[in-house]
Chain A
Amino acid sequence: MIWGVLQFPGSCDERDALHACELAGDGARLIWHESRDLDGVDGVVIPGGFSYGDYLRAGAIARFSPAMEAVAEAAAGGAPVLGICNGFQVLCEAGLLPGALLRNVELRFRCHQVDVIDERSGERLSIPAKHGEGRYYAPEEMLDEMERNGQVAYRYAEGHNSNGSVRDVAGVRNERGNVLGLMPHPEHAVDPLTGSTDGLRVFESMAGRVGA
């Protein structure tokens, strides 16, 4: 499978995302935010960073880019879309995922290794997190509905929710299951050199969604 990794002005994790896709056994290429054409890729990664300077709200302006229009169409067609950190914020702003990301509860930018639990498999993954606006929020009724639909994809393990996310939510998927967003960075946990390769599991499970 071939991933397209979006690149906005202000993205900063797109190279690691490309590398992670390749280590997970897939092809990957960069797609500039002004491109309305996804160039035939099978899935899309929206990487971390500070798209358009995070002005107004994180992800608020990036969602209007030509590439995001193409991503919305691809998502509607069932293509896998993975949003990491700023990418998660962009997907929420674009309405492709439910909820929103708010300032961390302690108002600090947090950068540390966190453990998250894959809600489907029960696997515990050790992945770095680095964000200032990662407090997941959705109204109670929306959360209940999401839990019923199995849309809570990852939860922070006990003691690892440092941003104040509701119900320890670290990542969510859409109802269909082909769009996934999470705050921690699986693309930074793909090489034993940096301590954990658990991030590869996230890329592999998303690649498994092709044709789903």
Chain B
Amino acid sequence: MVKARVLIRPKEGILDPQGKAVERALPALGFEGIEHVHVGRMVELEAEDTERLGELCEKLLANPLIEDYEIQTL
């Protein structure tokens, strides 16, 4: 089995209020100089065959209209 990790992020240009909320909270905690925060998802899985992982991402793990994804095999 091949271990893989799929990183899913909001597409660039789409308003990401979750990332903004995190970003706005940082100065109050003493973290200065951090910007462009985006919050996404990570899916870990094990696959017999990684050939169809792209299709899996397109159909289920990500919504290509609003999200970008990146597959990392470990």
Contacts and interface: CB of A to CB of B under 8 A. Distances in A.
Contact of A56 (B15, B17, B60): B60
B17 A105 contact: yes
Interface of A is mostly: loop
Contact of B14 (A57, A102, A104, A106): A102
Interface in A64-118: 64, 93, 99-100, 102-107
Contacts of A135: 15
Contacts, number: 33
A57 B17 contact: no
A106 B14 CA distance: 14
Interface string B26-67: 000000000000000100000000000000000011010110
B66 A137 contact: yes
A210 B17 CA distance: 40
A103 B17 contact: yes
Interface residues of B, number: 11
19 contacts: A56-B41, A60-B60, A60-B63, A64-B60, A100-B63, A100-B66, A102-B14, A102-B15, A102-B66, A103-B17, A105-B15, A105-B17, A106-B17, A107-B18, A107-B21, A137-B65, A138-B65, A164-B15, A164-B17
Given A100-B66, A102-B66, A137-B66, A56 B18 contact: no
A107 B60 contact: no
B13 to A, nearest CB: 9
Interface string A118-154: 0000000000000000010111000000000000000
A22 to B, nearest CB: 35
